[in-house]
Amino acid sequence: MSPKSSRQFAAMRSESRQKILESALELFALKGYHSSSMSAVARHAGISKGLIYNYFRSKEELLFAIFDYLLQIFDALSPGQPGSDPVMQLRQMTEKNFDMIERGDKHYRFITGIMTQPALQDLVHHYTGKVMREKLRPFFRLFAQLGYPDPVQAAYSYAAMMDGIGLGYIAMGDEYPLGKMKEYVLRTFCKKQES
Amino acid sequence: MSPKSSRQFAAMRSESRQKILESALELFALKGYHSSSMSAVARHAGISKGLIYNYFRSKEELLFAIFDYLLQIFDALSPGQPGSDPVMQLRQMTEKNFDMIERGDKHYRFITGIMTQPALQDLVHHYTGKVMREKLRPFFRLFAQLGYPDPVQAAYSYAAMMDGIGLGYIAMGDEYPLGKMKEYVLRTFCKKQES
Amino acid sequence: MSPKSSRQFAAMRSESRQKILESALELFALKGYHSSSMSAVARHAGISKGLIYNYFRSKEELLFAIFDYLLQIFDALSPGQPGSDPVMQLRQMTEKNFDMIERGDKHYRFITGIMTQPALQDLVHHYTGKVMREKLRPFFRLFAQLGYPDPVQAAYSYAAMMDGIGLGYIAMGDEYPLGKMKEYVLRTFCKKQES
Amino acid sequence: MSPKSSRQFAAMRSESRQKILESALELFALKGYHSSSMSAVARHAGISKGLIYNYFRSKEELLFAIFDYLLQIFDALSPGQPGSDPVMQLRQMTEKNFDMIERGDKHYRFITGIMTQPALQDLVHHYTGKVMREKLRPFFRLFAQLGYPDPVQAAYSYAAMMDGIGLGYIAMGDEYPLGKMKEYVLRTFCKKQES
DNA sequence: AATGAATGAGCCTTCATTCAT
DNA sequence: GATGAATGAAGGCTCATTCAT
DSSP annotation string for A77-103: S--S-TTS-HHHHHHHHHHHHHHHHHH
CATH number at residue B179: 1.10.357
pLDDT of A195 > 60? The answer is no
* Most C CBs within 10 Å, among D115, D157, D176, D178, to test the C interface: D157
Kindly state the average pLDDT of the residues D77-83.
Answer: 64
DSSP state of B77: S
Closest Cα partner for C73 from C114, C127, C131, C115?
Answer: C131
The integer distance in angstroms from the CA atom of B114 to the C1' atom of E2 is: 30
Instruction: Give pLDDT, residue B13.
Output: 65
Q: What is the mean pLDDT of residues A62-82?
A: 84
Q: Are residues B158 and B72 in the same domain?
A: yes
Which of A118, A133, A157 is the closest to B31 by Cβ? A118
Percent of chain A, pLDDT > 90?
Answer: 85
Q: What is the pLDDT of residue A104?
A: 93
CB B180 to CB A156 under 8 A?
yes
The parent domain of residue B30 ranges over 1-57
Contact C19, C45 (CB under 8 A): yes
Question: What is the pLDDT, as a whole number, of residue D194?
Answer: 73
Q: Residue A124 in contact with residue A67, Cβ under 8 Å?
A: yes
Q: Are residues A20 and A73 in the same domain?
A: no
In this complex, the answer to whether residue C35 has its CB under 7 A from any atom of chain E, a nucleic strand, is yes
Q: Are C159 and D168 within 8 A, CB to CB?
A: yes
Name the band, by pLDDT with cuts 50, 70 and 90, for residue D76. confident
The reply to whether C141 and C182 lie within a common domain is yes
Between A194 and D118, where is the model more confident? D118
B47 touches strand E (CB under 7 A): yes
The answer for residues whose C-beta is within 8 angstroms of residue C21's C-beta and 6 or more apart is C12, C62, C65, C66, C69
Are residues C34 and C101 located together in one domain of the fold?
no
Arithmetic mean of pLDDT, B148-167 = 96
Instruction: Tell me the helices (H) and strands (E) count for chain B, helix number first.
Output: 10, 0
Under a CB-based contact definition with an 8 Å cutoff, are residues D186 and D93 in contact?
A: no
Predicted structure pTM score:
0.92
pLDDT tens by residue, D140-191 = 999 999 999 999 999 999 999 999 999 999 999 999 999 999 999 999 999 8
Q: How many domains does chain B have?
A: 2
A170 touching B (Cβ < 8 Å) = yes
The answer to whether D177 contacts chain C (CB < 8 Å) is yes
Distances in Å between the alpha carbon of D50 and those of C186, D26, D45, D55?
54, 19, 12, 10
Residue to test with chain B: of A70, A172, A185, most B Cβ within 10 A: A172
| More confident: A94 or D7 | A94
Cβ-based neighbour number of residue B135 at 10 Å: 19
> Taking CA C66 as the corner, what is the angle to CA C60 and CA C71, rounded to the nearest 5 degrees?
135
CB B174 within 8 A of CB A176: no
User: What span, in angstroms and rounded, lies between the C-alpha atoms of A48 and B158?
Assistant: 48
What phi and psi values does residue C2 have, to the nearest 5 degrees? -110, 155
pLDDT band at residue D195, thresholds of 50, 70 and 90? low
Task: Annotate B108-128 with DSSP letters as a single string.
Answer: HHHHHHHHT-HHHHHHHHHHH
Q: What whole-number distance in Å separates Cα of residue D157 and Cα of residue C181? A: 7
Q: Please write the tens of the pLDDT for every residue from A109-126.
A: 999 999 999 999 999 999
Is the confidence at residue B140, as pLDDT, over 60? Answer: yes
Quote the minimal CA–CA distance from B93 to chain A in Å: 18
Query: Out of A109, A161, A177, whose CB is closest to B164?
Result: A161
> Quick one: average pLDDT of B164-193?
94
Q: Span B105-109, mean pLDDT? A: 94
CA of D28 to C1' of F11 (A): 16
What are B1-58's pLDDT values in tens digits? 444 455 555 555 688 899 999 999 999 999 999 999 999 999 999 999 999 999 999 9
The C-alpha angle with vertex B91 and arms to B89 and B93, in degrees rounded to 5, equals 70
If phi over 0 gives left and psi between -120 and 50 gives alpha, with beta otherwise, what is residue A36? Answer: beta
Closest CA to B179 of B189, B188, B169: B169
- Residue A118's Cβ-count burial label (10 Å; 0-12, 13-18, 19+) is buried
pLDDT of residue C3: 47
How many other CB atoms are there within 10 angstroms of residue B4's CB atom? 12
C-chain residues within 8 Å CB-CB of D113? 116-118
Of A27, A57, A87, the residue at which a domain comes to its end is A57
Residue nearest to nucleotide F20 (CA to C1'): D4
Contact partners of A by the rule of 3+ C-beta pairs under 8 A? B
Burial annotation B153-188 (CB, 10 A radius, 16+ → b, else e): bbbbbbbbbbbbbbbbbbbbeeebbbeebbebbbee
Q: What is the pLDDT of residues C170-184, one digit of tens each?
A: 999 999 999 999 999
Shortest alpha-carbon distance between residue C169 and chain D (Å): 10
Number of Cβ within a 10 Å radius of residue C37 = 13
- Which of chain D's residues 6-65 bind strand F, using a 7 Å CB cutoff? 8, 36-40, 49-50, 53, 57-60
Residues B133 and B158 in one domain: yes
Residue from A33, A134, A162, A163 to probe the interface with B (highest B Cβ count within 10 Å):
A163
Q: How far is B164 from chain A (nearest CA, A)?
A: 4
Lowest average pLDDT, out of A32-46, A73-87, C28-42, C78-92, goes to A73-87
Distance CA D112, CA D97 (A): 14
Check A32 against B161: CB less than 8 A apart.
no
| Residue D103 C-alpha from the chain's centroid | 13
Do residues B185 and B90 lie in contact, with contact meaning Cβ atoms separated by under 8 Å? no
Q: How far is the CA of A59 from the C1' of E13 (A)?
A: 10
Nucleic strand E under 7 Å from the C-beta of C54: no
Q: What is the DSSP string of B7-37?
A: HHHHTT-SHHHHHHHHHHHHHHHHH-STT--
**Looking at the structure, do residues B26 and B84 belong to the same domain, yes or no?**
no
Q: Which nucleotides along chain E are within 7 A of a protein C-beta?
A: 1-21
Region for residue D2 given its phi and psi (left: phi exceeds 0; alpha: psi -120 to 50; beta: otherwise): beta
Which one, of D102, D101, D134, D119, lies nearest residue D32 by Cα? D119
Q: How far is C118 from chain D (nearest CA, A)?
A: 5
Domain boundary among A57, A74, A101: A57
The A 12-41 residues near strand F by Cβ under 7 Å are 12-13, 15-16
CA distance B18 to chain A (A): 24
| Whether D44 and D65 share a structural domain | no
C-alpha span between C62 and A15 (Å, rounded): 34
By C-alpha distance, the chain B residue nearest A104 is B118
- Taking the C1' atom of every nucleotide in all shown strands and the CA of A61, the nearest one is E12
Shortest CA distance from C128: residue in chain D: D171
| Cα(D114)–Cα(D110) distance, integer angstroms | 6
Q: Phi and psi (nearest 5°) for C165?
A: -65, -40
CA distances from C174 to C170, D69, D140 (A): 9, 25, 20
C-alpha distances (whole Å) from D41 to each of D29, D45, D124 are 12, 6, 20
pLDDT tens for residues C2-15?
444 555 555 556 88
When the pLDDT of each residue in chain B is averaged and rounded to a whole number, the result is 90
Q: In percent, how much of chain C has pLDDT > 70?
A: 89
The integer distance in angstroms from the CA atom of C43 to the C1' atom of F2 is 14
Closest by CA position to C114, among listed D99, D119, D181: D119
D72 shares a domain with D45: no
Contact A168 B159 (CB under 8 A): yes
Q: How far is the CA of A2 from the C1' of F3 (A)?
A: 8
Q: Mark whether C and B touch (3+ CB pairs within 8 Å).
A: no
Are A75 and A148 within one domain? yes
Average confidence score pLDDT of chain A: 93
CA distances in angstroms from C97 to A37, C94, C108, C193, D118, listed in the order given:
53, 5, 9, 22, 20
D51 and D64 inside one domain: no
The last residue of a domain, from among D23, D42, D57? D57
Q: What integer pLDDT is reported at residue B8 of this predicted model? A: 56
Count residue pairs from A and B with Cβ separation < 8 A. 144
Closest partner residue to A164 (CB to CB) among B119, B159, B188 is: B159
What is the pLDDT, as a whole number, of residue C1?
44
Contact indicator for D105, D77 with CB cutoff of 8 Å:
no
Q: Is D23 exposed, middle or buried (0-12, 13-18, 19+ CB in 10 A)?
A: buried
Nearest Cα neighbor of A159 from A179, A189, A130, A194 is A189
* Residues D106 and D25: beta-carbon distance below 8 Å: yes
Judge if A64 and A102 occupy the same domain: yes
Distance B37 CA to F13 C1' (A): 14
Helix residue spans in chain D (DSSP H)? 6-31, 38-45, 49-55, 59-76, 86-103, 106-115, 118-145, 151-172, 178-189
* A116 Cα distance to chain centroid: 14
Q: Where are the alpha helices (DSSP H) in C37-173?
A: 38-45, 49-55, 59-76, 86-103, 106-115, 118-145, 151-172
Poorest-pLDDT segment among A72-76, A168-172, B4-8: B4-8
The number of angstroms, rounded, from the C-alpha of D126 to the middle of its chain's C-alpha atoms is 15
* Cα R_g (chain A), whole angstroms: 20
CATH of the domain at D45: 1.10.10.60
- Distance (Å) from CA A118 to C1' F16? 21
Interface of B with A in 40-99 (CB under 8 A): none
Pick the residue of A134, A167, A178 with the most B CBs within 10 A to test the interface with B by mutation: A167
Q: Does B168 touch chain A (CB under 8 A)?
A: yes
How far apart CA C165 and CA C160 sit, in angstroms, is: 8
D53 and D64, same domain (yes or no): no
Least confident of A76-80, B106-110, B170-174, C60-64: A76-80
